[in-house]
Every structure is written in C-alpha cells, then in structure tokens.
Amino acid sequence: MKKQHRSLATPYYLCEEELLEQNLKVLDYVQKESGAKIILALKGFAMWSTFDLVSRYLKGCTASGLYEARLAREEFCKWNPHAEVHTYSPAFKEDEIEEIARISDHIVFNSPNQLNRFVCKVKEINPKIEVSLRVNPEVSSSPVDIYNPCGLYSRLGTTVENFDENLLKELDGLNFHALCEQNVDALEEVLKSFDEKFSKYCKNLKYINFGGGHHITKKGYDLEKLIWIIKEFKKKYNDIEVYLEPGEAVGWETGYLVSTVLDTFKNGMDIAILDTSAEAHMPDTLAMPYRAEVRGAGKAGEKKYTYRLGGNTCLAGDIMGDYSFDKPLEVGDEMIFEDQIHYTFVKNTTFNGIKLPSLAIKRKNGTIELIKEFGYEDYRDRLS
C-alpha cells in the first residue's frame, strides 16, 4: 500500500466522470433500442454535482419523498427542463402533499387508502400530474430479506387481493419494484407474475413502471434480452410506455472511498484502524451484507500479511473484514475501497461524531475536483 499523497484529506469518495458516462451510455442504449424511459433513482445515487452529465442521458428522476423530489426539480431539471419527476412514498404526509404535487410530474401511491385520501387534492393542485399505484407482484428472488420488497407481509405495494377496481378511473399507470442487483431472468419471473395478477387492469393505462434493481451496467448483464422483453411487453399492451428506475446501475463501479491507516496492533491477529467506518460510511457492507473489495488486497491468507480492517467508531462490529497484503501495513498507508459511489453517501451517518467523507469528482481530463467537504457544523446542526 502506498502512502497517502493526494492533496485531498481522507476519507473521501471519488466519482470518476468517465466511468459514470460509460454507465449512462449503456442505459441510453437500452432506452433507444427498447423504447423504454430510464429515470434515476435518487435513493441509490444522488451526487447532484453530476446531474449536468446524467441529465443528458436519462429522462428524469424518481424520488422517495419531498426532499428527493425537490432535489430532482431544482438540480436535475435545471439542466434538462423536460425531465420528469416521479415521487413515491410508502405513505405521504398531509403537510407535504401539496408541495409534492406542485413539483412532481408523476405521483405514485402505495395503497388504495393513500390514493383515495389524496388524489383529488393532488389533481386540483396539479391538473397535469399523472397518478400511479404501486402494486406487489408477490414474486421476488431478492438475495436478502431486508431488500425484498415482495417478501411475506411486505408494506410496499398493493397485492392483487387488495386491488380496488374502482381506482382505475384515477390511474394513469402502475408501478412495481421487486428486484435487487439482479439480472434480466429475475425480471422475467416478476413480469410473469405481474401479467397473471394485473394484466386485466392495464387496458387503458398510459404506462407501467418496472422499478429498480436492474443490474444493467454490471458485466455480463443480458442487455439484448432486456431490450427484447421490454419490446414484447410494449407490443402486448398496445405500445404502453415502460419506465425503469435504476439507482445502483447508474453509480455502479464509478468510483471508490479513500481512507488512511491510523493505527496497527495485534490481538490474536493483526488489526488496522482506518479513518473511515463501515457503519457510518459503507452501511450496505453490514446491511446486505457484502465484502467490499480493497485495491491491491487479497482474501485472508491469500497474501503474506493478513489484517482485520476496522472503522474508527466505538461500535464493536464496525469491521470491514479480513484482507491480506504483500507488505505489512503502516500508519499513513492509503486504503481504497472499490465501488463505493452508490448507496453509500446517501446513507451516511455522523455516528460517534465521525467526520463525513468529502465528495470529489475525477473529471475526464484527469483533474480531481473537491465538490464538498464536511465539518463539525454538519454534525452539530443535525442535533439539538
């Protein structure tokens, strides 16, 4: 491992503009070949300093509530005035629904109760808004329960048993979201269930939203099969509009988290403490869980020197994992965690008062630009 030499103080996330554009071009290829519209799921990737680039390829954003909807309207639509803002929430609040209606092009209700409660008000505020209901196809091969929106007793979406045909007069579309980091075969299974349960309700609808979780930009994803499936679906339903809303596929392998070794010692094995945190800065490595790749490192025992990498908080389980290296680690060594641009800084916390990593972009000309640096005030101001 090399000594920290960059002018940027660690920890920081670095997004590579060139890699981001490569992903966007893949997504745009799917759009052009299939006729679908792809919108950015802000819950997975919300680096709005890149929206000038993202908005050249994607058709808008999908938001999970008021603040994400505002970000989409204010920071995405300023680059593309024709971009669409879709807003969904498991339950909208009375004191937010008016603003959401004003700034959204599409609103997605989670249940018949929510739709019946708010639809008249929403349409009165914004007569042009399109209304959708999230449905639950009750089929998913999501790898873990925490990310399975179609699991037993799910709170997300309306099952066919609870679908009210009287709602159809209010609906422009239906949404489902059943995938998590999955290939097109999983989508095929979900669509089969969707067809069986909900096809009879699609006759006069304008669009169907296939949700997110499509691992479109991952190596080996079957793009041509996805395009074929979308085209066949559109043909079956009289050229109905199809939306996809990936988040992870936008930020997939576009950058990394850079940290520094602060201390090394032994307790039955070699341990290194870093100036970052799995709990606060890489939450999905614990929630998913999965092992983040470290640049230049191997699995435990694969190389000569094995270390347990730990975060700089007091949580006992704040551990990135066991990694091996060609040389002993030293204080000041740089540690790079790969693929840490999606579902990371959108979930960051200031647990223990640990400093949030800075955000940086590597431009296509090779220059590195510091976009945002966080300080004590960011910790203080979220408390009271």
Residue-wise pLDDT for 261-320, tens only, equals: 999 999 999 999 999 999 999 998 998 888 999 999 999 999 999 999 999 999 999 999
Intervals of CATH 3.20.20.10 along the chain: 35-251
> According to the model, what pLDDT value does residue 145 have?
77
Q: Rounded mean pLDDT of 132-157?
A: 86
Rounded Cα distance, 121 and 45, in Å:
31
Q: Assign 6 a pLDDT band (cuts: 50, 70, 90).
A: low
Rounded Cα distance, 93 and 8, in Å:
41
Q: Which listed CATH number (2.60.40.350, 1.10.443.10, 2.40.37.10, 3.40.50.880) goes with 254-380?
A: 2.40.37.10
> According to the model, what pLDDT value does residue 281 have?
97
CA-to-CA dists, residue 308 to 269, 323, 329, 337, angstroms = 8, 6, 11, 14
Q: Assign 3 a pLDDT band (cuts: 50, 70, 90).
A: very low
Q: Phi and psi (nearest 5°) for 318?
A: -80, 75
Rounded Cα distance, 308 and 267, in Å:
10
Q: Assign 56 a pLDDT band (cuts: 50, 70, 90).
A: very high
> According to the model, what pLDDT value does residue 142 have?
72
Q: Phi and psi (nearest 5°) for 33?
A: -80, -30
Q: Rounded mean pLDDT of 125-145?
A: 89
Rounded Cα distance, 103 and 337, in Å:
37
- Tokens 């939306």 appear where? 243
Q: Cα dihedral angle (153, 154, 155, 159), rounded to 10 degrees?
A: -90
Residue 254 has pLDDT above 90, yes or no: yes
Q: What is the pTM of this model?
A: 0.93
Structurally, at CATH architecture level, domain 35-251 sits in: Alpha-Beta Barrel (3.20)
Per DSSP (E only), the strands in 144-302 are 173-175, 207-209, 241-244, 255-266, 270-274, 298-299
Query: Over the Cα atoms of the chain, what is R_g?
Result: 22
- Tokens 């981001």 appear where? 20
Residue 2 has pLDDT above 50, yes or no: no
**Average pLDDT value over all residues in the chain:** 95
Rounded Cα distance, 135 and 140, in Å:
13
Long-range interactions of 375-382: CB distance < 8 A, separation 24+: 378/350, 379/350, 379/353, 379/355, 382/350
Percentage of the chain lying above the pLDDT 90 cut = 90
Helix (H, G, I), strand (E, B) or coil at 261: strand
- Tokens 């300080």 appear where? 375
β-pair type (37-38, 241-244)? parallel
What are 351-379's pLDDT values in tens digits?
Answer: 999 999 999 999 999 999 999 999 999 99
Q: Rounded mean pLDDT of 166-173?
A: 96
Q: Rounded mean pLDDT of 334-361?
A: 96
Residue 37 has pLDDT above 90, yes or no: yes
> According to the model, what pLDDT value does residue 258 have?
98
What are 81-100's pLDDT values in tens digits?
Answer: 999 999 999 999 999 999 99
Dihedral of alpha carbons 5, 9, 11, 13, sign: negative
Of the ranges 101-115, 143-157, 213-227, which one carries the lowest mean pLDDT score? 143-157
Q: Are 279 and 314 in contact (CB under 8 A)?
A: no
Residue 1 has pLDDT above 70, yes or no: no
Residue 62 has pLDDT above 90, yes or no: yes
